[in-house]
């Protein structure tokens, strides 16, 4: 079962209620929330106050993607803000095991993401502890970039080792690249500009599933 996770980064921030309605009307299961600190990535997006505000307006599953240098210091704040899954970067400064354990102690699902330059095998020892793996198919920091096919063998490698683990892919997803990701074994497709830039977001979401 494929899940679609529209990325709020590409939404109209002056009309978040309307944008959230697009997500639920399209039948998307998850809402992907990109948190950027201007240090781990060269961009700043939004943080805890925005997530806790929108939490009051939707029951969507909140898939929080932390692109920040010290995720361990902030997972509690994002859990309290209403995250359902918290994904942090393997390349961040926080210890992966300690960060996973803290997310679990807060009662949330734990995910790790790797950037395009990081090999999949760094995640192998962590797979039994994880609820989600997020493979970046662009350099994190900005929406609207072109899909990097180097993500595909990483998805395949993780899928072989962990047949039932949700694998998410993030960056440059459209109908064509979604098909490649599904074939490789991904089951959560994050889409920012392809979803929010579409004149018919429901048709866009449907095109990612088949
Ligand atoms: C990039 C973010 C992505 C981004 C995807 O750092 O993690 O979630 O919003 O945007 P598109 O789908 O436009 O590539
Ligand atoms: Zn993301």
Model confidence over 57-103: pLDDT tens digits?
Answer: 999 999 999 999 999 999 999 999 999 999 999 999 999 999 999 99
Share of the chain above pLDDT 90, in %: 100
Greatest Cα-to-Cα distance within the chain, rounded to the nearest angstrom: 43
3-state helix, strand, coil in the chain (%, to 5): 40, 20, 35
Catalytic residues: 34, 170
Determine contact, residues 134/87, Cβ cutoff 8 Å: yes
pLDDT mean over 118-144:
98
Q: 116: pLDDT confidence band, cut at 50, 70 and 90?
A: very high
Q: What pLDDT does residue 210 have?
A: 86
Residues comprising the binding site for a divalent metal cation? 32, 34, 65, 170
Q: What is the pTM of this model?
A: 0.98
**Rounded distance from Cα 71 to ligand 2 centre (Å):** 15
Beta strands across the sheet bearing 132-136: 3-6, 188-191, 167-170, 132-136, 109-114, 85-89, 61-67, 30-36
Q: What pLDDT does residue 199 have?
A: 98
Determine contact, residues 41/88, Cβ cutoff 8 Å: no
Model confidence over 188-205: pLDDT tens digits?
Answer: 999 999 999 999 999 999
pLDDT mean over 153-160:
98
Q: Whose CA is nearest to atom 4 of ligand 1?
A: 143
Q: What pLDDT does residue 22 have?
A: 98
pLDDT mean over 97-110:
98
Other Cβ atoms within 10 Å of 176 Cβ, number: 10
Phi first, then psi: give them for residue 178, nearest 5 degrees.
-60, -40
User: Which CATH number goes with the domain that contains 176?
Assistant: 3.20.20.70
pLDDT mean over 136-157:
98
Determine contact, residues 69/39, Cβ cutoff 8 Å: yes
Q: Give the number of domains in the chain.
A: 1
In angstroms, what CA-CA distances link 191 with 28, 33, 43, 66, 110? 10, 11, 18, 16, 20
Alpha-helix residue ranges (DSSP H) falling in the chain: 16-25, 48-55, 75-81, 96-105, 151-161, 175-184, 193-196, 201-209
Range of the domain at 108: 3-209
């Amino acid at each position: 079962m494929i899940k679609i996770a529209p990325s709020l980064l590409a939404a109209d921030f002056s009309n978040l209620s309307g944008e959230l309605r697009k997500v639920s009307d399209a039948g998307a299961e998850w809402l992907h929330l990109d948190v950027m600190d201007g240090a781990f990535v060269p961009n700043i997006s939004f943080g805890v106050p925005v997530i806790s505000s929108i939490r009051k307006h939707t029951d969507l599953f909140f898939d929080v993607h932390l692109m920040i240098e010290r995720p361990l210091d902030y997972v509690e704040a994002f859990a309290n803000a209403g995250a359902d899954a918290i994904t942090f970067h393997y390349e961040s400064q926080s210890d992966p095991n300690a960060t996973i354990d803290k997310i679990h102690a807060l009662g949330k699902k734990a995910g790790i993401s790797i950037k395009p330059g990081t090999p999949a095998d760094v995640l192998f020892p962590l797979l039994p502890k994880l609820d989600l793996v997020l493979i970046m198919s662009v350099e994190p920091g900005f929406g609207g970039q072109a899909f990097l096919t180097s993500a595909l063998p990483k998805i395949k490698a993780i899928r072989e080792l962990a047949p039932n683990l949700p694998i998410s892919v993030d960056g440059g997803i459209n109908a064509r690249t979604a098909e490649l990701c599904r074939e490789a074994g991904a089951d959560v497709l994050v889409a920012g500009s392809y979803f929010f830039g579409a004149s018919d977001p429901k048709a866009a979401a449907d095109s990612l599933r088949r």
